[in-house]
């Protein structure tokens, strides 16, 4: 599956802003604070996908991602997260990429922050395309050098070059 055809450099952000520190307030509900922070990043991810011109409704696609994350976190292990959703609010399959040097609490399986994010949105009528993409991304990360390469690059085009190596 040619993943690079679903991507463009406009849908890649190599310098996500760092996460906010929780206010020093003993009455603060930390779980809600982290959930709101996660939703802010999901909004940034939808904005990345919107750069394609193929997102039909930003707010509704954001709601789809939030609802998907509430069912189960899409953060895996080793600093990788793959937020994905099937939605009627995109025209075609879209894949974005974002990187956070600081790491973002995305409720990963190993309780570590996520640094690399592949964001996938596919039209709801496509039943299993997002699963095929997910599988190929996991194959890509079975090579230990992939993570390090993606953490070191400085040009969005290099992300696409790395992905093409696995097509």
Residue 61 contacts residue 52 (beta carbons within 8 Å): no
In a domain, 138, yes or no: yes
In a domain, 35, yes or no: yes
Average pLDDT per consecutive 10 residues, the chain (167 residues; last block may be shorter): 94 97 84 93 98 98 97 94 96 97 95 97 87 90 92 97 91
Q: Which of 3, 9, 5 is nearest to 156 (CA)?
A: 9
In a domain, 144, yes or no: yes
Distance CA 51, CA 24 (A): 36
In a domain, 23, yes or no: no
In a domain, 22, yes or no: no
Residue 106 contacts residue 114 (beta carbons within 8 Å): yes
In this prediction, residue 37 carries a pLDDT of 96
In this prediction, residue 118 carries a pLDDT of 98
Sort 113 into a burial class: Cβ within 10 Å, 0-12 / 13-18 / 19+. middle
**Count of domains for the chain:** 1
In this prediction, residue 154 carries a pLDDT of 97
In a domain, 24, yes or no: no
Distance CA 109, CA 28 (A): 24
Q: What share of the chain is helix, strand, coil (3-state, %, to 5)?
A: 45, 20, 40
In this prediction, residue 27 carries a pLDDT of 80
Distance CA 146, CA 157 (A): 15
Residue partners of 103: CB distance under 8 A and separation at least 6:
19, 79, 112, 113, 114, 115
Query: Cα 77 vs. chain centroid, distance in angstroms?
Result: 14
65's tokens: 């991602």
Structural domain range at position 105:
3-17+29-164
CATH of the domain at 143: 3.40.930.10
Indicate the pTM of the whole model.
Answer: 0.95
């Amino acid at each position: 599956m040619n993943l690079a055809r679903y991507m463009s450099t406009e849908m890649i952000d190599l310098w996500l802003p760092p996460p906010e520190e929780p206010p020093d307030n003993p009455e603060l509900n930390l779980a809600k604070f982290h959930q709101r922070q996660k939703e802010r990043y999901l909004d940034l991810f939808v904005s990345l996908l919107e750069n394609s011109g193929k997102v039909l409704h930003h707010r509704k696609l954001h709601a789809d991602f939030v609802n998907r994350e509430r069912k189960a976190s899409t953060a895996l292990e080793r600093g990788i997260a793959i937020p994905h959703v099937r939605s009627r609010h995109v025209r075609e399959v879209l894949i974005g990429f974002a990187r956070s040097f600081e790491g973002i609490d995305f409720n990963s399986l190993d309780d570590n922050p996520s640094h690399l994010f592949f964001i996938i949105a596919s039209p709801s009528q496509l039943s299993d395309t997002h699963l095929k993409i997910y599988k190929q991304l996991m194959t890509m990360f079975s090579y230990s050098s992939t993570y390090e390469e993606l953490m070191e690059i400085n040009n969005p085009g290099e992300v696409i070059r790395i992905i093409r190596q696995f097509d």
